[in-house]
Amino acid sequence: GIDCQGGSRMCCRQEFFVDFREIGWHDWIIQPEGYTMNFCTGQCPVHVAGMPGIAASFHTAVLNLLKANTAAGTTGGGSCCVPTARRPLSLLYYDRDSNIVKTDIPDMVVEACGCS
């Protein structure tokens, strides 16, 4: 996957960190201090559709160039920039009864993006 940089408009992963102190949640969430959420943004032209991680290999790149040359238009077509890898978020927090709870919430942190 590609991380968003500068003015790139292609599908990429944008980093986004939620600071629990800033949103007033630091009193009930003991650890971590924030949530590295991240999200996917950008365009998915036809020639990169169906390629999680964008350029999988030389052969798929050639095939997709062929697809692009025969397809009409360069954007849209139902392909979306979506998470292709995610990891869990571990939380240690107080519940309403002041019990301390530790859990791993699956699929919370976006690690990589690609075109669907």
Residues that bind another protein (CB under 8 A): 9, 11, 16, 18, 23, 25, 27-28, 30, 35, 37, 39-44, 75-82, 89, 91, 93-106, 108
Nearer to another protein, 15 or 62 (CB): 15
The three state secondary structure string of the chain is CCECCCCCCECEEECCEEECCCCCCCCCEEECCEEECCEEECECCHHHCCCCCCCCCHHHHHHHHHHHHHCCCCCCCCCCEEEEEEEEEEEEEECCCCCEEEEEEEEEEEEEEEEC
Nearer to another protein, 11 or 64 (CB): 11
Question: What's the closest the beta carbon of residue 91 comes to another protein, in angstroms?
Answer: 8
Q: How far is the CB of 115 from another protein (least distance, A)?
A: 10
